[in-house]
Amino acid sequence: MQWLDLTYLQAIILSVIVASTPLLLAASGELVVERAGVLNLGVEGMMIMGAVCAFAGAELTGSTLVGTAAGILAGVAMAAIFALLTLGLAVNQVATGLALTIFGLGLSGLIGAGFVGQRITPAPQLDLPVLTDLPFIGKILFGQDAFVYGSIVLVIGIWWFLYRTRPGLVLRAIGDNHGSAHALGYPVLSLRTGAVLFGGACAGLAGAYLSLAYTPFFIAGMTAGRGWIALALVVFASWRPARLVIGAYLFGGVTILQLHAQGAGLDIPPQLMTALPYLATIVVLVAISRTRGVAGSAAPASLGLAFVPDR
């Protein structure tokens, strides 16, 4: 009967929103990157660097805004390294992305060693006296922090850019056939670099959300595989922004489900429940691979392929 309690249901929905936001932020940036034909597997590394730099910035200055900016800049810096290697030197994208993740995890542990155990004031939530106090939907719709609303605005902006603007059309064309786009005179490497840096900014923002709002403290490895889930979400969404929202909240719901199932005392091994979100990721990827004619058709044709302009 507890599930029928509106207060309890509201708490679950709020928890799902909080758990889904970092996934949506990181996956949104990666979607733009992959639409440009670049495969960046370093999302996890960029997220954790965003988390530690955001926390350090907020702790040292007392400003959530400064911390957020520091997290974004950290993600951009990591993405710049990736762009330099894969776009400037045409290094293998898969190997570089994996190296970037390992590098980010190690460097974040070094930077954050002095901040472990410290706490900061979490990012403030919106409080509209009348709307926020509405029964049930008040806190859900009008009581979130700026990161949550920003994630929705970000997805809408990406959709508009990709499907309603000429630069978005050019970006998608580069992802589908970089050779033809180059022949038509479009700056393939410049546009891909911009997409990679944008993806890094989104991953850094996702990491900043983890340490500034989700859990207002820093611990090593606090991203806990969310970067990999964000990568899977892009495939799950078939590289479409609208589906990305559904996927992010679905995976966020799975994460919260395992927590509430453990709290309810279900006779299920806790290790299995903890692994549930990642098992769901594997199941989704396998299901998509079995239906390549439907989901795979949306994949950019030049995804992961190095581009070296004619000299």
pLDDT in tens, 187-203: 999 999 999 999 999 99
pLDDT given at position 1: 44
Tokens representing residue 302 in the block = 């030049």
Contacts of 255 (CB under 8 A, 6+ apart): 19, 276, 277
- Residue 59 in domain: yes
Alpha carbon of 3 to those of 18, 226, 256, 261, 274: distances in Å? 19, 27, 14, 11, 21
- Residue 38 in domain: yes
Q: Is 1 exposed, middle or buried (CB count within 10 Å of its CB: 0-12, 13-18, 19+)?
A: exposed
pLDDT given at position 275: 73
Structural domain count of the chain: 1
pLDDT given at position 151: 96
pLDDT given at position 126: 84
Distance CA 176, CA 179 (A): 9
- Residue 10 in domain: no
Alpha carbon of 41 to those of 6, 221, 229, 273: distances in Å? 40, 17, 11, 26
User: What values do phi and psi take at 145, rounded to 5?
Assistant: -90, 175
- Residue 242 in domain: yes
Q: pLDDT below 70 — which residues of the chain?
A: 1-4, 259-268, 270-271, 273-274, 276-277, 285, 287-297, 311
For 278, the domain range is 15-115+146-298
pLDDT given at position 203: 97
- Residue 237 in domain: yes
Query: Do 223 and 48 form a contact (C-beta atoms < 8 A)?
Result: yes
Task: Reduce the DSSP state of residue 283 to 3 states and report it.
Answer: helix
- Residue 218 in domain: yes
pLDDT given at position 94: 93
The residue assigned the tokens 């155990």 is 117
Domain holding 294: CATH number? 1.10.3470
Query: Do 223 and 69 form a contact (C-beta atoms < 8 A)?
Result: no
- Residue 261 in domain: yes
- Residue 5 in domain: no
